[in-house]
Amino acid sequence: MLNALHDMITEAWGVPLGAEKCVIERDKALDILDEIRGQFPTEIAEAKRLLDARADFINNAKREAEQIKRTAEQQARQLIDEQQIIKISRAKSNEMISYAETHSNELRRAANEYVDESLARTEESLVTALEEIKRSRQRFRQTARAAEAAAPSDGGDAAEKQMKDFDLDV
């Protein structure tokens, strides 16, 4: 409509002695202006609606961006918390492994000492028993020799008595 009004003025006849003045058809010009005025409320309303829609879109985008930001921050905090939990868990597991290794080494050392002491006592007992066996064998041999030496003269009664004495010692 504005273009039509512009064309009408541009093509209008000029007035003599008035370079800036022209003659236009009043009714046509008024009709165009009325149409423009009639469309202004519609156009203005449409423009307002578009501006409101734009404002709503921007507000929704801001709210969505804020929500995305909050969600991202929450996820970042969770990841940090999870990483902290992992660090704590690793430290705790390393501590437990270290304790288990130390305790295992102590148990191994204690078991080795116990076995060594038990074997030493057993060795001492066996040495004592072996010495007792050697002494008993030596006494037996002495008793047997004495019995052999005494056997032809007393008829074996002395040998028998010495054997009984030997049994009493053992």
How many structural domains does the chain have?
Answer: 1
The pLDDT value given to residue 168: 45
The pLDDT value given to residue 167: 53
Look up tokens 């007992």; give the residue.
125
Provide the whole-model pTM: 0.39
**Residue 15 in tokens:** 């007035």
Assess whether pLDDT exceeds 80 at residue 163.
no
Closest CA to 100 of 20, 92, 65: 92
Identify whether the C-beta of residue 35 lies closer than 8 Å to the C-beta of residue 1.
yes
At 65, the pLDDT band (50, 70, 90 cuts) reads very high
**Residue 112 in tokens:** 């080795």
Assess whether pLDDT exceeds 90 at residue 71.
yes
Quote the domain boundaries for residue 75.
2-169
Phi, psi of 20 (to 5 degrees): -95, 5
Taking only Cα atoms into account, the Rg of the chain, rounded to an integer number of angstroms, comes to 63
Helix axes 26-154, 157-169, angle to 10 degrees: 160
The pLDDT value given to residue 3: 83
Q: What percent of the chain has pLDDT over 90?
A: 35
Strands 13-15 and 18-23: antiparallel
Assess whether pLDDT exceeds 80 at residue 166.
no
The pLDDT value given to residue 164: 60
The pLDDT value given to residue 13: 77
If one counts every other C-beta atom within 10 angstroms of the C-beta of residue 62, the result is 10
